[in-house]
Amino acid sequence: MSSLACSPLRVNPPAPAVQALGAADARMLIRSGEWAGHTSGLATRHVQGNVVVLPAAYAHDFLLYCQRNPRPCPLLAVSEAGSPVLPGLGDNLDIRTDVPLYRVWRHGQLVEEVRDVRSLWREDLVTFVLGCSFSFEHALLDAGVPLRHVAQSRNVAMFRTSIATEPAGPFAGPMVVTMRPFKPADAIRAVQITSRFPGVHGAPVHIGKPELIGIHDVTRPDYGDPVEMLDDELPVFWACGVTPQAAVMEARPSFCITHAPGSMLITDLLNYQLATL
């Protein structure tokens, strides 16, 4: 494979019992293979993270890339080289087994998607976990702001944009965004709520007129699932943690592991802990 086109994931309906799962139980479902779909609606109280795993030789430049682009790349944790655990994000967390679907990259090319990366693990690998917009969705739902993709058990729609990120070393590329349709009053409320969560992308980067950021058809996302937009709704766009995958394609590191879009790491952190107000 040579593109970022999102492979279909098995969708598991987020039943109330699944939504209420703790992080450790959710990770056990994923580790055992019982949950193989996207993680939107799974363990909704817990912070979810995007994953990038790189050889240590690339780690400094990628860390700088994240620091220069905090909206699409809000860092939650960085591992020690060779360590598959991130104690600050969860007990009994193993980055090699606890993501439903991984992507494996070699020299910037997507070569395979796998459920487990233990056989690929190396002593020089450094894991970066970045905040995910799935975490602020819980706050939106609590406030009565509807999310159509959650109600329909779909992955969120994601798009590559014409917004350039700030480069660092070999890492550069376009910002990727998530899109959610809202009636105008709900869009205003969504801006207010998500502004409190800068650690998981914060406020939207764009509202309405998708063509101004290089998106020509909001019914055809680059990743994730299409979602219906009604005549009285506005598309609202947030920076997305799939952005580093575009940067990986640009940098062409010899080896890299990422999450598949929508297939996140579930941490022990609670969403409210990332709120600034």
pLDDT tens for each residue of 237-277:
999 988 988 898 899 999 999 999 889 999 999 988 888 86
DSSP-assigned letter for residue 34: S
As a whole-number percent, the residues of the chain with pLDDT over 70 amount to 93
Q: What is the pLDDT of residue 13?
A: 44
Tell if the pTM clears 0.85, that is, is over it.
yes
Least confident of 27-41, 43-57, 80-94: 27-41
Rounded-to-integer distance, Cα 71 and Cα 58, Å? 21
State the average pLDDT over residues 9-31. 72
**CA angle 150-43-151, nearest 5°?**
10
Torsion over CA: 90, 96, 102, 104 (sign): positive
Length of the chain: 277
State the average pLDDT over residues 193-197. 94
Band of the pLDDT at 199, cuts 50, 70, 90?
confident
Tens digits of residue pLDDT in 213-241? 999 999 999 999 999 999 999 999 999 98
Tens digits of residue pLDDT in 109-147? 999 999 999 999 999 999 999 998 888 888 899 999 999
Contact 269, 203 (CB under 8 A): no
Contact 189, 145 (CB under 8 A): yes
Taking every pair of Cα atoms in the chain, the longest distance, rounded to a whole number of angstroms, is 53
Torsion over CA: 183, 184, 185, 188 (sign): positive
Q: What are the C-alpha distances in Å from 185 to residues 105, 144, 157, 227? A: 42, 12, 21, 19
Q: pLDDT at residue 7 above 70?
A: no
In 69-196, which ranges are continuous DSSP H helix?
Answer: 134-142, 148-151, 184-194
Q: What is the pLDDT of residue 144?
A: 95
Q: In 3D, which of 145, 156, 160, 185 has the Cα closest to residue 264?
A: 156
Q: pLDDT at residue 35 above 60?
A: yes
Contact 89, 49 (CB under 8 A): yes
The tokens of 260 are what?
Answer: 């598949």
Place of tokens 């995910």: 132
Q: What are the C-alpha distances in Å from 257 to residues 49, 105, 131, 148? A: 14, 6, 17, 30
Mean predicted lDDT score pLDDT of the chain: 90
Residue 65 burial (C-beta neighbours within 10 Å; 0-12, 13-18, 19+)? buried
Higher pLDDT, 14 or 268: 268
- Strand segments, DSSP code E, in the chain are 46-55, 75-78, 102-106, 109-114, 125-131, 157-164, 174-182, 206-207, 234-239, 256-259, 265-270
The tokens of 234 are what?
Answer: 């506005």
Q: pLDDT at residue 183 above 50?
A: yes
Q: What is the pLDDT of residue 17?
A: 64
**Beta-sheet pairing, 102-106 with 75-78:** unpaired
**CA angle 76-82-85, nearest 5°?**
45
